[in-house]
Each structure stands twice: as structure tokens, then as C-alpha cells.
Structure 1
Amino acid sequence: MNDTIAAIATAPGTASISIVRLSGPRAVELARKIAPGASLRPREAELSALFDAEGELIDQGILLHFAAPRSFTGEEIVEFQCHGGVIVAQSILEALVVHGARLAEPGEFSRRAFLNGKIDLSEAEAIAKLIEAKSVDAARILARQVWGELGRYVERVREALLRAMAHAEVMIDYAEEVPEDLISGLNSQLEEIRSELERVVESSERRRGLIEGFRVAIVGKPNVGKSSLLNALLSYDRAIVSEIAGTTRDTIEEQVRIGCHLIRIIDTAGIRETGDSIEKIGVERSLRSVEEADIVIALFDRSRPWEEEDEEILKLMERFGDKEWIVALNKSDLPERLERSELEEFRPLSISAKGDFSPLLKRLEELLDSYALDEELMLGSQRQVEAVREAARAIEAALGPLQFGELELFSFHLQEAVRAMGRITHPYENEEILDRMFGEFCLGK
């Protein structure tokens, strides 16, 4: 924390502008060494010549000074906006290091902001996830967390749990004077909190694809048109298409944008019983893709009669009934011979992977958009999900002792719930959490 750190804060490569960030107690001093003519008045953009350690001109750039504590890290910060590309920004960074700055570690600026009380850990995680957001809806959700929405929710739950613990202490000390309805009231309040926490966990896990990118698997029997559909969605020939059944023997994954969502589309091997050892491995990977997918497109060939292999896909849909399924009947340009009664409950779509597949795109976009309509608060990381889940379990464990008047045990479990919720925003007791979390940030953030 006593070092002055520096890093390039923009992505490498060709661009119009690059930003070099400098933070720490010597930030202004070191900035003046490479910009000797700069006044560096706080919060004023200033054009200045920039020089390397040998006094050679590097560039002409804009300097911004953010005085402590009114800066992102809470420390003295100077940012250099220079011309883009790799060389200029790297030259400025090297000059700062020569004069005494240290290269920042991944996430070190955000870590200092956290340790200096400028942000809590939920806001720091939201910043990291916002950079990686795979949809407009995810960016909106995470922007609210950057502004403290999750932190305020955690504080509200903690306050409610602390009030319940205070009531328990009153009941222990003044048992004869406690109103009879107090225990039932506490039970109702805690049940409500527990249910709310469980809803938040369920909603967050269901919508995690908004942040990480939804995984969409295409499944069906061999030669049903899965690879043709993948190629159509990508608008280029990514997968080999052949009349020979079983051409695709492994999963193929590519990213594609549907509406405002970036999804991972997975073409799988045709699912059927086979004695071919290589094809069998492909079928096993297909089943694994279904298990890991958020949405599954079940593709059927409407130009062929219902077969035993179609029945296997139907059984797969029943086996993974908790998944979001879209049923599409391919080859709508050919005469229909498929008996679709088994599929009517899934509202099957008629499409042509080599022609009009817009009904599938529309259904998929509507489904992806529906995840963003959920009004429940969203947890942005698995660490947060586990903390809330642990708090819900601790509250459930406290309800039994409450009913039997075991108030010390009741308070113990509530303390566990309070600690679990606190880890979302301020896990000071575990340095490893901070190392792991901030270590996943990009350089310069």
C-alpha cells in the first residue's frame, strides 16, 4: 500500500487513445518527472509534453490528477491519456517504473479501492463482471451493483438478522416479561428472509448466462440438420454437412449474438445407440452438453416418419425436464411425414435450416430476454451465491431451536447467517478470498 503503482488501463492493440494509470503516495511527484511542465491541478485536464527517463520526447498527452481521497483508489491518482498503440503507452509506463513506480498486479487498483473503503467487495466484483458482460441486460444489472444495490440489500438482511438476535437476548435476560407472540413473530420474519434468500439464489443461478453467456445446445438424431442449423446461425460454414449419418462426432462450440445477447451455441453429435467407439464418445459428450446447457434446441426431421431415435430424444427431454427446451421441426421445405402428437406440448416450430429459420431465432430471443425481466436481485458470482445459500441454511437451522426455546443455539445459528452475508461485501477475515478474487481482474483495473 506504500508503493506507487502504474499500469496501462486500456486494452493492447491499435486504438486512438491509450490510458496509463498511476496511483499511490508519489503519483504527483512521478508524474512531474515525465511531464515537467504540468501543473497537475486536481480534476483539470491538462495538455503536456511527456518525456522518457533520458529526457527524450515520447508524446504529447492529456494529464488528469485526482487528489486523495477523492479518487477511485482513495489515493493520489494521475492518468495519462496518450496516443494509442502499444509503443507510446509502454514507453510512458517504462519511464514511470524507472523513476520509482512499481508495475501494478492484476486488480490492484480495485483492491486498493476496497481496502481504502471506496468500494465494497460486491461492487468490486460487479466492476470485474461488467467488463466481461455478455449482454446489455447484464451490463444494466451489474451497473446497479457497481452503485451499491447488492451492498444495500446485504446490509438490510444483516440488520434484520441482528434485530432478531437482539430480541433473543431480551428473551434470555427477561424471559418472564417477553410477549407471547414474540417467538411466532420472529419465526415469521426469519421464514420470510430465508425464502427471499432462496429465491435470490434460484433466480441468480437461472440467469447466470446474462453475465457469463448462455450455453445453447442443439441435439437430435443423426442427419436431422443440426450442423446445417449451426452454420445458418453463424452465417458461415463452420461444421461439415453431409448426407452420411454420424458426420459430426464431437461437439462444436461457437459464439453468436442473438438480439442483445452473446451466446455459446453447441452443435452436438447425433444421439443414437452405436457400436462405433468414436461415435459413442461423441454421443456421451452430447449428453454432457445437454446437462451443462441453459437452453436446449431439440431438432426433429419433419420429412421423415417418427422413429425409435426420435423417441430417444423425447426421453432425453423428459430426463432433463428442468431445462429450457425449444422444439424445432426441420426441413419445412419438404412434405411433412412426421407424426408430431408427442411434441405438441412443446409448441414445436417449423423451420428450414437452409431456408427460413426466423421462428427459431424469435423464440430464442424471447426466451433470452425473459431472463432479464425477473425483478429478483441477481448475484454476480458463485462466491456470492454460496454465501447467500449458507446464510439461508443457517437461518433454517435457527428456526428449530427458536421453537423449543433454545435461545443460545438460536443466536449461534443467526450469527453464522450474519457472517455469511457479511462475506459478500467485507470478508476481511479471509485474505485468500481477496487474493483469488482480485487476481482474476485485468491489469490496470
Structure 2
Amino acid sequence: MISTNNSSTPETIIALSTPSGAGALAVVKLSGSRALEIALKLSRRDHLQPRHATLANLWNREDEMMDEAILIYFKAPHSYTAEEVVEIQCHGGTLIARKIIQEALALGARVARAGEFTYRAFLNGRIDLSQAEAIGKLIEAKSDESYKVLLKQLKGELGRYVEGVRGSLVEILAYAEVSIDYAEEDLPSDLEARMVEKIERIAEDLERIYQGSKRRSSLVEGYKLAIIGRPNVGKSSLLNALLLWERAIVSDIPGTTRDTIEESLHLGNHWVRIVDTAGIREAQDAIEKIGIERTLLALKESDMVLALFDSSQSLSPEDEQIKELLRAHQENRRILVLFNKSDLSRELQDSELESYPHRYISAKEGGVEELLSLLASWLDEQGGGEELMLTSERQLLCVKSALGELKEARDRLIEGELELFAYHIQGALKELSLITRPYETSELLDVMFGQFCLGK
């Protein structure tokens, strides 16, 4: 558990902030009230000028030089954690950084826990919780669009929006308190109608952001594309063609792919996880049955589906199973039917399949570039990183709960139940506060910051 000690002299922490292993440079970071003192002892210097790079030799307790390094001092509160911070840029490799950390520990620092630097930034008011979440996800960002939306969140745009909504709700709550305390006073006759209108306007805007964020929830983590079809229809060949390398084994033997194969690629500005699934048919053994179950799970979790059919053959019983799956999974995903082997004589005629968006492809005549372009355009339609959005399940749940509270508040206000109206407005305020600064939820904070790397 990360300590929530927020005293004036918190412990000084240290950690490696760059990946462990060989490299040109490594960065070791100190944060806390004794960070400067420890850095001065390591470098045997009298002072470090804030925000200036200082070249210095680092020494151990045996008067042996450990390395020649660059030290940068960030004076509180103008640092990542809002504490005294010193960054030590030493030569790369694990040994040198480890020796520096060991000496700092001997001088009174302790090893930082996972996410503790960012946690301290949060506790010290340097960032809010939505910004902390953005930092964790930005490190893992794989596409231009996810980078855009997370950068907006890191810059505080989501936090400012939430605080604006909270400010409006506080004004509404003040109306409720006045109405309760001074029930016998003459208040404006249209005040209740104005409050109802204001609540509805806030709820409408929150609902817009909530629905848009749900629709684009895969933008940050990566969209999921499932390739489905009967055995030996060409799914693995299609995967290899999309990736431009031989990822999956291709064979004329049906059932060669007995498990799902997942790979990733960029489509335009988007990151997509492609899942090549086991062919749908009556399982021949227990292992193939597990593979088919995973195929169904991949289909349920997908944002887009490529359903592959052999256009040179009439529909088989296995193809009919695929059609049933498409009917059952049309909601909340885009489906593209692909008729493979289009260079051969066309035997497959099916009006239901042709009612879906569809394309004809073949190993000889190609069509993959057109397919990739179409998929990228579909993803562009989902919206990009320019729009404000909620980027975690936690944020979505908070807004959903706040919307429920606002609906109850509106209904209670219309019924004239002012105390219950105030209660539900307070509930909405509490839920929205959880997005940016949940002061009394230490367990939630421990879980969230524990997912960060040690140097963050």
C-alpha cells in the first residue's frame, strides 16, 4: 500500500525512471525533502542551481567514483511531484544505476513504490486523478488518436470540464438549501423551472460525453477486429496478408488453427488488434472445442468483424453457422463480409450475406489495400482524439452514476421534495468528484497507482 502520509517532511524516495537494461543513458529520480541534500552528498558539491544541468562525478562511501553524471535540481513546488526533486542522468546499464541507488539508500532515501512519484503529485495537488490516469495510459499509447485524447486529459481538459459541471451543481444545491431554510420567504416564481432546465441541460451534456466515450472506448486500448469463418476458408492467409508477414500457419488441412491468434497493426491513425479465430464447425476433440469457444468470445469482444466465405463454393452447414452468429452479433460492431477466391468461378449466391457491407478478394487479384482503407475509414467515423472523452471504465461508471442522481434530483424537484432533491444533487457532486479528486477512497487510489511502473 502506498502511504498517504502528507506531512511537511515526507520520506525521500528514489527509483530508476528509465527501462532497466543496456542503453546510452539511465535516469535515477529522487523526490522528497532530502532529495537535494542526498544529491549534494553524492556529487560532493555545495549547491545545485535549479533547472540547470550540472555535470558532476558521483562518489560512494569508500571515496570511489561511481560515474560521471548530469544532475538537474527541481525546486519545490516546480517539479513533477511538487516536492524537491533531483534527476540524475548517468550512463546506461543496470549496474551503475543500481550503485547510485544503493548509495542514496545509505544516505536516507528509500526505494519508491510503484506509481509513488505520480501519487505524490496527486496528493500535493500537482495533478488531479484524471490526469494521473492519463499519464499511466499515455506511456502505453500506440496510436495518434489515443495520444491526442490522453494528452488533452493530461493537460487537464477533462478535469476542468468536471469542475465546471460541479460548480453549476453547487449553485443548484445552494438554491435547494435556501429554499429549505427560507421556505416561507417569497422566492422568484420561475426559479424552480429554471433549476429544472439547468439540470436537464447539464444531464444532456454529460449524456453526450458518456455515450460518445462508450462508442469510442476502444480508441485508447485499441480496436479489436475478429476474423471468422469455417475451417480452411482462408482466415490465416487473410491475417498474413493484412500483417504483411507470415504470422499464421497456412495449410489445406481443415482445423489447422485450433486457437485464436492475436496480432496488432496500425490502420491510419488507429491501433487495431486482429484476432484470427479457429474455424467454426462441430468440434472434433476437446482442444478444438476450447478453440471454438475462444472464437465466440473474440466475436463478442470485437469492434469489427471480417466474416470470410468461399465465393467459389455454395454455402456449407458451417457457413450457415457463421450466418447465425452474424445475426446474433450485429449490434455495437461493424461487420464486413468478405467473399474469398473471387478470381474463380462464383458459385455462392446469398442475398442475406450481400445485404451486409461486403467485398470480393482473392490471393491472386488482391484487394487487401482496399480492405485496409475501408476499415481505416470506419474507424475514423468513430471520432478522433479531438473530442473530450472519458478514458477509463472508472470514469464512465462515475458519470453514469451521476446521471442517475441528476434524474432523481430532477424528479424530486418537480414533486416539490426539496430535501430529497438536495440529497441527489449531493450524490451527483460526489460521483463527479471521484473523477478528479476522491479524497476518501484510499483503497481505489492504492489499486490505481499500483499499476504504474516503479519510476513513475
Q: Residues 52 and 136 (structure 1 numbering): CA distance in 2 closer, same or farther, change over 3 Å? A: farther
SS at match of 1:158: helix
Distance 2:363 2:225 in 1: 16
Could you tell me which residue of structure 1 aligns to residue 39 of structure 2? 31
Secondary structure of residue in 1 paired with 2:348:
coil
Contact 1:42/1:65, CA 8 A, preserved across alignment: yes
1:366 has 2:374 as partner = no
Q: CA deviation at 1:345?
A: 3.3
1:193-204 correspondence to structure 2 within 5 Å: 193-204=202-213
Report which stretch shifted further, 42-51 or 350-359: 350-359
Distance 1:346 1:408, change over 3 A: same
Answer whether contact 2:261 2:276 (CA < 8 A) is retained: yes
Q: Does 1:408 align with 2:419?
A: yes
Segments of 5+ residues of structure 2 without an aligned counterpart are none
Query: How much does 1:39 deviate?
Result: 3.1
Check 1:366–1:55 CA distance in 2 against 1; reply closer, same or farther (3 A cut): farther
Counterpart in the other structure of 1:91:
99
Q: CA deviation at 1:276?
A: 4.3
Query: Does the 8 Å CA contact 2:147/2:385 hold for their aligned counterparts?
Result: no
Q: 1:328 aligns with which of 325, 328, 338?
A: 338
Of the candidates 354, 360, 372, which is equivalent to residue 344 of structure 1? 354
Match of 1:271 among 249, 257, 280: 280
Counterpart of 2:446? 435
Residue of structure 1 equivalent to 2:313: 304
Asked if 1:219 is matched to 2:254, the reply is no
Aligned position for 2:396? 385
Q: Aligned letter for 1:47?
A: L
Cα gap change, 1:185 to 1:358, in 2 (>3 Å)? same
CA RMSD of aligned residues (A): 2.0
Q: Is the 8 A contact 2:143 2:266 kept in 1?
A: no
Distance in 2, Cα, partners of 1:272 & 1:53: 70
Aligned 8 A contact 2:73 2:86 in 1: yes
> What displacement does 1:176 show?
6.0
Gaps of 5+ in 1: none
Q: Hey, what's the Cα distance between the residues in 2 that align with 1:18 and 1:410? A: 56
Q: Distance in 2 between matches of 1:289 and 1:80?
A: 46
User: Alpha-carbon deviation of 1:434?
Assistant: 1.3
Are 1:120 and 1:426, in contact at CA under 8 Å, matched by a contact in 2?
yes
* Shift of residue 110, structure 1, vs aligned partner: 0.7
1:82 deviates by: 1.5
- Worse-matched range after superposition: 300-309 or 80-89: 300-309
Among 222, 245, 255, the residue aligned to 1:246: 255
What are the residue-to-residue correspondences of 1:8-407 with 2, within 5 Å?
8-37=16-45, 39-172=47-180, 173-174=182-183, 177-274=186-283, 276-322=285-331, 323-353=333-363, 355-373=366-384, 376-407=387-418
Confirm or deny: 8 A CA contact 1:10 1:19 kept in the other structure.
Answer: yes
**How much does 1:399 deviate?**
2.0
Alpha carbons of 1:296 and 1:131: their partners in 2 closer, same or farther (altered >3 Å)? same
Question: Aligned to 1:396, what secondary structure does the other structure show?
Answer: helix
- Answer whether contact 2:145 2:385 (CA < 8 A) is retained: no
Structure 2 counterpart of 1:254, one-letter code: E
1:97-154 alpha-carbon deviations (Å, 9 max, x no partner): 1221100001111111111111111111111111011211111111111111011011
Aligned equivalents of 1:243, 1:378: Cα separation in 2 = 46
User: One-letter code of the match for 2:198?
Assistant: Q
Asked if the contact 1:223–1:243 (Cα under 8 Å) also holds between the matched residues in 2, the reply is yes
1:38 Cα shift? 6.2
Contact 2:148 / 2:386 at 8 angstroms: preserved in 1?
Answer: no
8 Å contact kept, 1:199–1:376: no
State the alpha-carbon separation in 2 of the partners of residues 169 and 325 from structure 1. Answer: 53
Confirm or deny: 8 A CA contact 1:107 1:443 kept in the other structure.
Answer: yes
Cα 1:26–1:251 shift into 2, 3 Å: same
Task: Tell whether 2:12 aligns with 1:4.
Answer: yes
Task: Judge conservation of contact 2:146–2:385 (CA < 8 Å) in 1.
Answer: no
1:82-101: CA deviation from partner (whole Å, max 9, x where unpaired):
12222222222222112211
Q: Which moved more, 1:186-195 or 1:294-303?
A: 186-195
Q: 1:238 to 1:175 in 2, by over 3 A?
A: farther
**Once the 2 structures are TM-superposed, how far is the Cα of residue 274 of structure 1 from its aligned partner?**
4.5
Per-residue deviation, 1:291: 0.6
Distance 2:454 2:361 in 1: 46
Flag the 1:374–1:84 CA change in 2: closer, same or farther, 3 A.
closer
Deviation at 1:414, TM superposition (A): 0.9
| Structure 1: distance between partners of 2:427 and 2:72 | 45
Do the aligned partners of 1:74 and 1:113 also contact (CA within 8 Å) in 2? yes
* Secondary structure of the corresponding residue to residue 139 of structure 2: helix
Q: Matched residues in 2 for 1:367 and 1:281: separation?
A: 31
Shift of 1:426: 0.8
Indicate the SS of the match to 1:346: coil
Output the CA distance in 2 between the equivalents of 1:38 and 1:363.
63
Residues 175 and 122 of structure 1: is their aligned pair in 2 closer, same or farther, counting only changes over 3 Å? farther
Asked whether the equivalents of residues 5 and 104 of structure 1 are also in contact (C-alpha less than 8 Å), the reply is yes
Q: Which residue of 1 aligns with 2:430?
A: 419
What letter corresponds to residue 14 of structure 1 in structure 2? A
Contact 2:149 2:386 in 1 (8 A): no
TM-score normalised by the chain length of structure 2: 0.92
8 A contact 1:225–1:353 mirrored in 2: no
2:452 counterpart SS class: coil
Deviations 1:270-326 (A, max 9, x none): 123446444333222211111111222111222222344333222222211121222
Conserved in 1, the CA contact under 8 Å of 2:405 and 2:425?
Answer: yes
* Residue type at the aligned position of 2:100: I
Residue 393 of structure 1 deviates from its aligned partner by 0.9
3-state SS in 2 of match to 1:199? helix
- On the 8 A contact 1:391/1:417 being kept in 2, the answer is yes
Question: How many residues are treated as equivalent by the alignment?
Answer: 445
Change (3 A) 1:326 1:38: farther
